Structure 1
Amino acid sequence: MNGSEEASSHPSQDKNLCRQCLHLNINLSKFRPNPSDDDPLLPGVLALDYDPAHLAQQDLGYLDEIYRRRHGCSLCRLIFDATHGGSRRIGLDGLLGGLEGGEARVPCQLRWVLDGRTLGTLGQLASSNRPLTRRVIISTPKNVFPTFHILPLGTPDTQGASPTFTGRQIPPDHFGVERIKSWLDLCLNNHEGTCTKPAGRPFPTLRLVDVVDENIVELTEPHGLEYATLSYVWGGQMFLMLKAENREELLCKGSLGPQNPLVPQTIRDAIRLTRDLGIRYIWVDSLCIMQSSSEDWARYAALMDKIYSRGVVNICAAAKSEASGGIPGSALTPRRAVQYTASCRNIDLVAVTPVESLIEQTTWNNRAWVFQERMLSPRSIILVEDRIFFQCRGATWSEDIDSESTTPVWTLDMADAPLQTFRGNPLRQYAEYVELYTKRKLTFISDRLHAFSGIAASLAESLEASFIFGLPNAFLDWALLWESAQGGKKVSMKRSSTYYLPTWSWCGWNNAVTWRMSMISGTLINLHEWLSQRTWIVWYTGHAPELNAVDADLVPVWHPSGNPNQVAHHIRAWSGYTPAGVGSDLFGRMRKPPCLTHDNTEKPTVPTRDAIPRCLHFWTYTAHFQLSRRSMSTPTFQSDIGAGLHRFGILDARGDWCGTAILEDTWLSQVGAVLEFAAISEARDFSMEELDTWNYYVPQDKTSLDWYLFYAILLQWDAESGVYERRGLAKIYQDAFKHASFGPGLEWKEIALG
């Protein structure tokens, strides 16, 4: 903003509208759906009895045109305030600067979206309940400015016990602690089925900060103790931490009080907020883990899921990138909260930025460590620069929208919230968590697995699995189908390092990963059936009793337990491996490896070489194929594969296209090279993104079989350590493995994959 003339934190006194905005016919009825009593299930705009044509998406023109009209039109003024305040790249003329070609015009769109749906007991939309309200969404196709919503501004008289989904005026300097208390009470009293504290064995001992006596306390078996947790960004500056040399001092009453200048402002504000909420204790990692003790750090790292999941509330200090920054709006650190409002045809309107949009902009949200802190906590107070939000597994509430309810309600503020990820299928939840987590940054890449350990521990029971380098062992064949979502490099560590991370797991790569639907869709029809009938490898791992051990024991990845006859009735479509039965392998599979050679003798499956720590040991088929630029995708079905990646073709020894792989674009320099691939499981078919059968003819695609492909790992030999490393995932015709490998040809081979 340039000067007070360009700031608009109060309702505009100019109620006039330009011709463009008059045509929108904004009125209160449009914010309140009016369903037909005769047809309560009639969806969307068809159930409306007023002006449905003007509810469709409309082009508002360009921002520069809107900006020029802002002095004579209150709605244009509101759009100006919200867009110019939300983007530093847009000038006062409404043009986008900083581009190579000079300046660019920014198109602007408006659409009405239904909001406020009552949920059923399982968190699903209740079919008998109509949407309670509607919002205006202002956006741009180019995402130049953050999308924002326009709502009617309510008053204390209109905002009663039931949610009105109207905007709410907020204090500019300090947020209200009473508001946070009311959110906590609503959740604790009404969300018993979704946000209950998990049961479990009590902590043997737990360090906490006593917010009344202002010191660290060490409590023995603190069963049922109520405490808050803190999630924040440390930043680069050093600040007060618990160490062996200051432990006795910090156990003294008052040691963390105002007289101690070394306590960073964020922690000081969190202590005060916890006390104001009536909670006696708070867990702060820098003060509750002995930072000078690797043993103490390891102990608490293993307890992260319990520490955060059993807290009453997680205070997420998301506003600042340093611990010294404080919590804006708290009692000790003021804020400057601005609301953009306008009066339009006697309706007071307010512009509201979506919850996740504000959170996503923070440094806090992009840190890998805080991801599990947010996901494991049953409820969180998220404090950004000028807003506070409440999130739990049953609701998302904002201080500037009246949406609190004693009954479960879905609102637009819950959109894109990580806590709302799919919870019915634990494997799908695992994949979504990994995809969200790997997008985030770590100061020390060696922490890539440690910062996920709490999430893994929380999912282990529902998956009925244990984790091996971030992959659930009960689903290993499927978990290995991860791919890079963007270009990246393997984690650079010596194999002898205590913190070495293997390339066969996503944790061994410094990039975001995904389970790409075009690759895995065939496995999801019936995952357990695929694991039982389309996989064959008996996986072993080199298990070292100590992290830095040189020697390792060869153990199966899957450790079955129980009687297969007793667990049969528990098997579902997404179940993992089952206990071994008569005639099955260790993973409960009755099938043998596919027969690709004329030699019908039984093939070995138990590795013979000495176990290597952190390696996967197994037998399977390998073959050699040529990397090609020849992609069978077309623009019609092409998908966004991520920055730094390229879709390659794979050619067999006959010169035929036989498969595809998405690899880092650095592999373009290897086009024409013959590479080794290891078949790891069967794949159903190619998606249209991988092979557009409407435009390309491939002789091998006329097979009558359903499962005629292999999932295959691209191997690269590491001569220094004497093991293979994973470089990518491909889909390749089984027939090409069988008949058209480059030399040395098809082999049943023992592999150590590091």
Structure 2
Amino acid sequence: MPKHAKLAPLCNVCRQINLANTNNRKPLEYSLGTWEQVKKRATKHPKCPFCILIQSYIDNSGLAYLYQTGPASIEWREQGGFFFETDGSNLSFLNEDTATSPHGSARIVKDTIDPALMRKWISLCEEHHGEKCRPRNDVIKTAENPNGVKILRLIDTLDQCIVEAKPGDQYLALSYVWGPVSPLIRLEQGTLDILTQKGAFKDHRDKVPVTVRDAMDLVQMIGQRYLWVDSLCLIQDNNEDMLDGVSHMDLVYQCSLCTIIASYGSDFNAGLPGVHPDSRDVYQEVFEVLPGINMTIINGVYNAMTGTHSKRAWTMQELVLSHRTLVFTEDRVFFRCRSNCWTEDTLYDCFPTAINKVLSSGGEIMFAEDNDKHPLASCIFHLFRYAPRKLTKITDTIHGFTGILQYVSRQAKSGILEGLFTSSFDISILSWDNFPRATTRPVRQEDFPSWSWAGWNGIKDGYARFCYDANSTNTWLKTKTYIIWYKRSPGTASLELVWDLSNEETHGAPDEHTIAYRPTPSDPYGRIRPSFLDGLQTQPTLDDPRREEIIKSELTKRKYHFLHFFAFTVVVEALKKPPAGSELEMAMVYSLRGQRGKQCGGVKLDNPRSMQTVKGPHELILLSSMDKYDGYFNDTIKHKRPYYWAMLIAWVGEDKVIAERRGIGFIYNDCMDVILPPGRVWKEIVLA
């Protein structure tokens, strides 16, 4: 709204807020009457300027339905600004020339970005944030650093060509979406010689995607030289080069000076709004609420990221793993680092020690922490954000999360098997969908094992979310788990332990804060061997020709790892749908019914619809045991009744050699007498 030539007075209600004090005020909630009255004061003559601002915010918030009737209020919060129900947006004062605090202060945004401001943000971060925001410098493989990428290629924006980086070269990385088609020009075996010649991108500029061109120009504008872009720095038709790059994606982004996040638009030609004249239309309403006192609406960085970038799977890890980001939205640029957030329309960069907490209304993507004390739990939180995002190729489900997995695995001192951490495998295998629903969509992802989160569309939670205390969790691994996990590899079908002493030597011995197995020469999982295993076979043999033929045939067909192990299994009579309106229905926990219909546990089905026509009995693997249930399935049910973690399985084919997972649940220890005969059975399982 433009400034009024003749400003109407504030209504009697808004006069009590004393807007003349601008942002020089303490936290306080102000009553506005009712929402009906606010709307009336904003639309009926004489229109109250502050009520007009409030109504504009409501109308454009996407939450207008919350503000139709009932008591109305607005709150000045400690983090600065007038807030309603959410934390990710507020009303602030346009007081750049007079502000004594950044909290609740704002400034006018110009149509074209100010490169000097971008340089200032990076410099302030370097000056004030220290180690927390300092990029790593070990991206390239050397004799001293064997874990880096073999070859790091960069776009030299000065010489306009692709070059091979040297250790210590400083670069920015670009995070963007391709869209439905491939770029006209990519780095391929046939274009490598062309694109490494000086001036190559100048000669072929019209073929370079607009977003990449803008990023190249931005790099020079802020006084830098090198840029990393996936399509031009990885040889797209060379599997070895692509695999090396994808498996080191965490290092590429962690080692970049800053990552440019192209969050606006739906493809690689959307550009970076504001980099060039006439490339963006800034939408910034200015409201004069008192003579000479203007206000505007401020949105946090994650609220402003509404483009395709925030919905694509690949782009999430690029945000999570970076130390610093320059986020380009439709009409704003944000600098978001691991310590703070500076923006074009706020004044926090003028008060660099003040922390901007106006970030999101619930959709914040957390940065990875270099010294995360709870890496397993953090990974589940990242998976929760990742799982709903879209992939062009479902086969990239794990690839798109590999950077985060690699990052976490180093902190967890673990290997990775089909997306699961091998040093705490009994934890990782306990994963589920928070709210599975009966659906016609294909939720089984056939390119991945059924025992992995990647094998099901929607799995985004797991027991790891509750694993904070290393001491108690390690005690659980040592005393409450019992399966000797083996894997069968596609191609060779070789039988290997999932974890043992040699794996620990490869990934590093755990310290007292690490949740992981402590293998010994006598037990690869470092457990106190339970007496019930005495006399039982725990290592599979390969001497059954028919079984081996089926396993090798299925491995060849499926092309992913199988698990091969011995475990106790039980059989229940039926699965019963949760009662309508109950907490169990909300969490979609089906009850397990034993003899005489007695409830003996519960299960979260991976695909409830697929199980609707499957009649009992149903078989479950007893995975591990717990002393109490603590609301794991997104319910509020808690009890101290000991139980077994259990996996619902279905056998594939008439031979019943290969099984697949169908759900994760629990069976009460004291219900072993009501499971179907013959009770607990020690069985060899090959899990695909």
Same fold by TM-score greater than 0.5: yes
How far apart in 2 are the matches of 1:147 and 1:107?
23
Work out whether residues 651 and 657 of structure 2, in 8 Å CA contact, stay in contact via their aligned partners in 1: yes
For residues 389 and 329 of structure 1, what CA distance do their matches in structure 2 show?
12
Q: CA RMSD in A?
A: 3.5
In 1, Cα distance between equivalents of 2:472 and 2:580: 27
Partner secondary structure for residue 680 of structure 2: strand
Report the counterpart of residue 270 of structure 2 in structure 1: 325
Counterpart residue number, 2:515: 575
Which residue identity lines up with residue 557 of structure 1 in the other structure? V
1:497 alignment counterpart: none
Q: Which letter maps to 1:708?
A: P
- Paired residue secondary structure (2:457): coil
Q: Quick check: 1:63–1:105 contact (8 Å CA) kept in 2?
A: no
Matches of 1:255 and 1:692, distance apart in 2:
58
**Within-5 A mapping of 1:375-524:** 375-404=320-349, 405-407=351-353, 409=355, 411-413=357-359, 416-420=363-367, 423-487=372-436, 489-493=442-446, 500-515=447-462
TM-aligned CA deviation for residue 685 of structure 1: 2.5
Alignment CA distance shift 1:588-1:333 (3 Å)? farther
Distance 1:290 1:108, change over 3 A: farther
Q: Which amino acid aligns with 1:324?
A: N
Matches within 5 A, 1:76-91: 76-87=51-62
Q: How many residues align?
A: 652
How much does 1:367 deviate?
0.8
Give 3-state SS (helix, strand or coil) of 1:325's partner.
coil
Structure 1 residues 9 and 536: alpha-carbon distance in aligned structure 2, compared to 1, 3 A threshold: farther
Q: Secondary structure at the match of 2:564?
A: strand
Give the direction of change, closer, same or farther, for the CA distance of 1:492–1:439 in structure 2 (3 Å limit). Answer: closer
Question: Which amino acid in 2 is paired with 1:357?
Answer: N
Task: Supply the distance in 1 between the matched residues of 2:580 and 2:565 (Cα, whole angstroms).
Answer: 33
2:558 is aligned to none
Structure 2 counterpart of 1:734, one-letter code: N
Contact preservation (8 Å) 1:318, 1:383 = yes
Secondary structure of 1:256's counterpart equals helix
Give, in angstroms, the shift of residue 514 of structure 1. 1.1
Cα distance, 1:276 vs structure 2 = 0.6
1:139-168 deviation per Cα after TM superposition (whole angstroms, max 9, x unaligned): 48xxxxx96311122223436xx6454112
Which amino acid is 1:233 matched to?
A: V
Structure with the higher fraction of residues in helix conformation:
2
Normalised by the size of structure 1, how large is the TM-score?
Answer: 0.78
SS in 2 for 1:357: helix
Deviation digits for residues 677-704 of structure 1, max 9, x if unmatched?
Answer: 111011233346979999x9xxxx8xxx
Q: How does 1:45-444 map to 2 (within 5 A)?
A: 52=28, 54-55=29-30, 60-61=35-36, 65=40, 68-69=43-44, 72-87=47-62, 110-112=73-75, 114-116=77-79, 134-139=80-85, 148-158=89-99, 163-171=102-110, 173-200=111-138, 202-203=140-141, 204-219=150-165, 222-239=166-183, 240-257=185-202, 260-331=205-276, 334-345=279-290, 347-359=293-305, 361-404=306-349, 405-407=351-353, 409=355, 411-413=357-359, 416-420=363-367, 423-444=372-393
Per-residue CA shift, 1:642-698, capped at 9, x if unaligned? xxxx3211111132112122223415624863211111011233346979999x9xx
Match of 1:100 in 2: none
- Retained in 1: the 8 A contact 2:629–2:642? no
Where 2:232 maps in the other structure, the secondary structure is helix
Gaps of 5+ in 2: 142-149, 543-547, 556-560
Aligned equivalent of 2:665:
730
Q: Secondary structure at the match of 2:97?
A: coil
Residues 275/530 of structure 1: CA separation in 2 closer, same or farther (3 Å cut): same
Measure the CA separation in 2 of the matches of 1:10 and 1:552.
Answer: 74
Residue 58 of structure 1 deviates from its aligned partner by 7.5
> Which of these residues, 605, 608, 623, is aligned with residue 541 of structure 2?
608
Q: 1:365 to 1:562 in 2, by over 3 A?
A: closer
In the TM superposition, residue 83 of structure 1 has moved relative to its aligned partner by 3.7
d(CA) in 1 for partners of 2:32 and 2:474? 43
Q: CA deviation at 1:524?
A: 8.2
How far apart, CA to CA, are the structure 2 residues paired with 1:55 and 1:639?
Answer: 40
Q: Distance in 2 between matches of 1:524 and 1:275?
A: 47
Residue 651 and residue 200 in structure 1: after superposition, are their counterparts in 2 closer, same or farther (change >3 A)? same
Q: Given that residues 151 and 349 in structure 1 are in contact (C-alpha distance below 8 angstroms), is that contact kept between their aligned partners in structure 2? A: yes
* Structure 1 position 230, deviation (Å): 0.6
Residue segments in structure 1 that go unaligned for 5+ positions in a row = 1-7, 35-44, 46-51, 97-103, 117-133, 141-145, 494-499
- Measured after TM superposition, the shift of residue 521 of structure 1 is 7.9
Displacement after TM superposition at 1:249 (Å):
2.0
The CA deviation string for residues 575-633 of structure 1, in whole angstroms up to 9 with x for no partner, is 2111216xx5211111317x4xxxx8522211224576511111111111244435489
| Contact 2:319/2:367 (<8 A) preserved | no
Contact 1:628 1:671 in 2 (8 A): no
User: Which position in structure 2 is the counterpart of 1:653?
Assistant: 595
Identical aligned pairs, as a percentage? 26
Q: Secondary structure at the match of 2:621?
A: strand
Structure 1: how far apart are the matches of 2:49 and 2:494? 73
Answer yes or no: is 1:747 the counterpart of 2:681.
Answer: yes
* Cα deviations by residue, 1:716-749 (Å, 9 ceiling, x for unpaired): 111179411111110111232x322224542111
Q: Deviations over 1:40-65 (max 9, x none)?
A: xxxxx6xxxxxx5x457975348865
Contact 1:15 / 1:343 at 8 angstroms: preserved in 2? no
Whole-angstrom CA distance in 1 between matches of 2:471 and 2:37: 46
Corresponding residue to 2:9 among 7, 12, 16: 16
Q: 1:468 to 1:109 in 2, by over 3 A?
A: farther
Rounded to whole Å, the distance in 1 between the matches of 2:636 and 2:204 is 73
Deviation of 1:345 (Å): 4.3
Residues 427/627 of structure 1: CA separation in 2 closer, same or farther (3 Å cut): same
Q: State the distance in 2 between where 1:739 and 1:562 align.
A: 40
CA distance in 1, matches of 2:51, 2:489: 65
In structure 2, the CA distance between the partners of 1:744 and 1:66, relative to structure 1 (3 Å rule), is farther
State how far apart, in whole Å, the 2-side matches of 1:569 and 1:330 are: 47
Aligned match of 2:530? 592
Aligned to 1:711: 645
